[in-house]
Chain A
Amino acid sequence: MTDIAARRRSWVDWFFFDWHPAEALGAVRFYFGIGLAIYLNIQFNQNLTLDPFGAHFHFTRPIWYFWALGIDTNVPWLPFLVMPLLMAACLFFAFGKWTKPAIIVIILCIFYMKGVRDSFSGDVHHREVPIFAILILFFFSKCDRMFGIDARKKGWAPIEDWESSWPLRAMQIYIAMFYFWALVAKVRLSGLAWFHGGGRIQDVLISRAVRDGFTPTGEVVNLSLGWELAQNPHAIFWIGVLVFLFELFFPLILFVRDWRIKLAMLAGASVFHFSNYLLMNVQFYFYPFVFVTFFNMAEFHRWLKGKVRLRRAAPAEA
């Protein structure tokens, strides 16, 4: 083997295999699974606002796989069965019981619930795209081998560090690059026109704020914060610059080991998502739960348990 090949191999090993301890993967699966149940509930609960015995709406534009399967009508009672199944699968996944079958059930349920939600009017949302990519990695990893019911009951041997590290690193790459690709897409589609004046941000702030109309006193019905901000194009311009810098440089987090720096960067990303929700009603506000993949959640779990024990012990001593 040449020196170059050896160096390349060691770099890949360093990047993917030498980053997290064995205990991290199972703990991330646990916290991710809990967050996933909440996230998917937020994403799909609108399918549960319908009358289960009401009209069977004929979709205006079925999503591509519904179209391929010939599914062109909503069966309104079906989401009331699929949603509990999805929630149960998330919990099985989180607690490490029948983990791999649970992942398959989650993916199938996401396809169905997303298909229904997006086929009514044909708007295909992107909020499940990173979730799918992450679940695929969990499926092909040994995420069920530690920190779960099956692992404890069946007495499985612990996995090695590198077996825990690579799926988490791959998830981090996908999550970090998702922001970067969003910036690339802006440039590919609109160039710098995206930022001109108040930019695309001002356009969306206005259209979102007025889409439910005005009160009798002339205030917007919803998103009044966004409406106020839309009247300050200079502030919006600098927010646009911040978005640009955030999306451009966020992948640097892949090379950060210090958990405090990572936490600061991810807090910034969380502010980005919360702001999008408060100002424009973009329903990505619970998405930051995926950031658990950046940390050794086993350490966090021990810290949390210690805190809970201390709180329980304190009244007893008093």
Chain B
Amino acid sequence: MSKTSVKRFLALYFLILFGAIFLRVDYFPLSWVPMYGYREIGPQLTVKFGDKSGRKRGFFAQRANGETLYISAEDLNVPNANFRRLYHQRAYNNAPPQDDRERVALMSFNRWWYETFVGPDPRLNKNYSGQLLDSVNQTFGYGPSDPRRIARLEASLDFATYDREHLDIGDLSRPKIERRTAIITETGSFLKRGDRVAPMSTGMASKAGEVE
């Protein structure tokens, strides 16, 4: 390549790579580098207290024929880090970070091209928990009329809520802890909080005070 060709190549190279930053493209191999960049402050911060042994045992599951079992990372043959995300996030209908931030604070031009070429905002019709149930059944090769199919999945975790005023002085000793159970069925997903069971949110919800 001559020097002129190199300059043309570099112009194209940076036009594509840095153009993706202007357009907020985050599809590998292009990225506008938004990792850990999204934060909505709320008066509280809610985090999930993991339970390694509980997670190792896996999802509590029920087959369509009524049999109960546990489904672990080994059963599904997925890496532990991914299983943690399935258990802590997708089961609770929480999106992967890129879905949560993709359409946040977009310029109108960026919004136009996203909605024209990519589709609607993924936060508008969330069905991550339903996708998880489908994945489990397809992994085991259970069809929709198979009596062995998994008809119900459950994941339970302690959710800890810290008041912002305590966080601001570094006091992590007084969280409010609540046991929440994600219940995923063929007819929909539900969240059990204490004795109350309510359908999970499928629409756009504020991420204020939440961190994965």
Contacts and interface: CB of A to CB of B under 8 A. Distances in A.
Interface residues of A, number: 78
A273 B168 CA distance: 25
Interface in B6-49: 6-7, 9-10, 13-14, 17-18, 21, 24, 26-41, 45, 47-49
B86 interface: yes
Range, interface on chain B: 35 or more
B163 to A, nearest CB: 12
A109 B171 CA distance: 46
Contacts, number: 211
Interface of B: 1, 3, 6-7, 9-10, 13-14, 17-18, 21, 24, 26-41, 45, 47-52, 74-86, 88-90, 96-99, 101, 104-105, 128, 131-132, 134-136, 138-140, 160, 162, 164, 167-172, 211-212
Contact of A188 (B29, B86, B98, B105): B105
29 contacts: A12-B7, A16-B10, A46-B81, A50-B78, A55-B75, A56-B77, A58-B138, A60-B131, A74-B78, A121-B90, A122-B90, A122-B99, A123-B98, A126-B28, A126-B31, A133-B17, A170-B13, A182-B35, A182-B37, A185-B32, A186-B36, A188-B24, A189-B38, A189-B101, A197-B164, A198-B168, A211-B48, A213-B52, A227-B172
Given A12-B7, A123-B97, A173 B14 contact: yes
Top 10 nearest A-B pairs (CB, nearest first) are A120-B82, A58-B138, A54-B77, A121-B85, A132-B29, A231-B170, A46-B79, A185-B34, A55-B77, A181-B33
Given A16-B6, A124-B27, 9 more contacts: A60-B86, A121-B90, A140-B1, A182-B33, A189-B37, A211-B48, A231-B170, A232-B170, A233-B169
A58 B47 contact: no
Contacts of A202: 167
Contact of A189 (B45, B104, B132, B139): B104
A281 B98 CA distance: 19
